[in-house]
Structure 1
Amino acid sequence: MKKHIVCFGDSNTHGYFPVEGGLGRFNENERWTCLLQKHLGEDYLVIEEGLSGRTTSFEDPLEEGLCGLTHMYTCLMTHEPVSLLIIMLGTNDAKERFGSNAACIALGMKRLIQKAQSVKDCWADGKPNILLITPQNMDARYIDSPFTASMGRGCAEKTQALAAEYKAVAELTGCEYLDANQIATDGPNTIDYMHLTKKDHSLMAEAISKKILEIGI
């Protein structure tokens, strides 16, 4: 059987990109998840579990089904046996309506990781393997984009403080760690200032594939 790698994230895992007057999605030759599959080859099955708006542990009062904590068990058991779980979340947790900060978002991530580790029956060889990725920071210029109304204020500052918080969570929970801000150096895009560019998807795939091989998955 192939090694199952589950990519659990939000719109930047889904491959969303903003276009003037509408919504878009990068195709299978552009999304980092699909490019990761190409890098790793036929011995791996890379599974896309990206949902726009997903949070670590917050229930969204405006949209249903976006709490990562609620869906982690089902996701992992659907794709068992899981050799590696990649989690890249936190941007949506910064929305003003959740009234949170970087430290609390990190606590939500810690809770999500511990939930995943507790799903004993899903893991290949019975061993949880998780790669935590800090998402790319939102640029402060998002405040002048059409997305300010739904995101609210203060989001950029919260996301910019996540890397230090997430690195500590990774160390505490025994997870591997990457910071997308050290990888995705092309963006963010200049429409909403929060989503990966096409080039950054390629850079992410390359860096993540190297990390996977480095840790011996």
Structure 2
Amino acid sequence: MQHILVYSDSLTWGIIPDTRQRLPFVQRWPGVMEIALNQQGHSVRVIEDCLNGRRTVFNDPFKPGRNGQQGLAQRIEIHSPLCLVILMLGTNDFQSMHTHTAWHASQGIASLIHTIRTAPVEPGMPVPPILVVAPPPILSPKGLIAAKFKAAETKCIGLAAAYEAVCAQLNCAFFDAGSVISASQVDGVHLDADQHGVLGLAIAQKVNAFLPE
């Protein structure tokens, strides 16, 4: 059985827009991806490590533990051997308490890639390949998270291009989620259930290249 680690935030955790509720595993995109890959004849288990509010490498001044760098190397060690790590982070880098741009988030992703590649896995275990997924552009934030994400739709401009450039430099696989899905019209940030389904199937196609025949 092949193990895939998905390291992400609330977009992948499956928060239902403008609520604090969660979609079930079979509706979240990692679950959709796992089901699709197994139906295609692979033997795959997806490990979800998705924390609401997680940034790339930045701290949340109000909640501890939201820096994506914290504990990442140990997670790679814990779950090894891994056939793939999927990173989908960056949305929370643009919360209103930050002045970050797409470039800052892309440098955060570069730092996470380095951490994964240098994690202290056991001798003989592989350094897992990495697939970076750029989250879809933030729309006008609404509802419960409007203040938290004020002006985020402007700060996030160019995120996919910045991630793609970093991945090209670091020889890392890349996928632009915004090429197949969009953020929810309900809150402007998270994903509706149907978009989880589309994204899960799209990423499953990308993941096929990392799995044995």
Fold shared per TM-score above 0.5 = yes
Q: Which has the higher contact order (CA 8 A, sep 6+)?
A: 2
Show the counterpart of 2:149.
151
SS at match of 1:98: coil
Q: Percent identity?
A: 28
Show the counterpart of 1:128.
128
Q: Any gaps of 5 or more consecutive residues in structure 2?
A: none
Show the counterpart of 2:167.
170
Deviations 1:7-48 (A, max 9, x none): 0000011111124xx422111221111111101116111111
What is the aligned-residue RMSD (CA, Å)? 1.8
Does the aligned pair in 2 maintain the 1:83–1:123 contact within 8 Å? no
Q: Describe the shift of the 1:124–1:167 C-alpha distance in structure 2 as closer, same or farther (beyond 3 A).
A: farther
TM-score (norm 2): 0.91
| Amino acid aligned to 2:104 | C
Q: Any gaps of 5 or more consecutive residues in structure 1?
A: none
SS at match of 2:45: strand
Does the aligned pair in 2 maintain the 1:13–1:49 contact within 8 Å? no
Are 1:72 and 2:72 counterparts?
yes
Are 1:27 and 2:33 counterparts?
no
Instruction: After TM superposition, give the deviation of residue 120 of structure 1 in Å.
Output: 4.7
Distance 2:56 2:123 in 1: 20
TM-score (norm 1): 0.90
Show the counterpart of 2:12.
13
Structure number with the higher strand fraction is 1
Deviations 1:77-120 (A, max 9, x none): 12111110000000000113122111111111111111111115
Q: Describe the shift of the 1:122–1:8 C-alpha distance in structure 2 as closer, same or farther (beyond 3 A).
A: farther
Does the aligned pair in 2 maintain the 1:120–1:126 contact within 8 Å? no
SS at match of 1:149: coil
Among 158, 162, 167, the residue aligned to 1:161: 158
Instruction: After TM superposition, give the deviation of residue 214 of structure 1 in Å.
Output: 2.7
Among 179, 184, 192, the residue aligned to 2:187: 192
Instruction: After TM superposition, give the deviation of residue 145 of structure 1 in Å.
Output: 3.4
Distance 2:30 2:131 in 1: 14
Show the counterpart of 2:199.
204
Q: Describe the shift of the 1:32–1:24 C-alpha distance in structure 2 as closer, same or farther (beyond 3 A).
A: same
Deviations 1:148-192 (A, max 9, x none): 222232x112223101100011111111110000121xx422221
Are 1:214 and 2:193 counterparts?
no
Deviations 1:46-67 (A, max 9, x none): 1111111000000111101111
Spell out structure 1 runs of 4+ moving beyond 3 A. 122-125
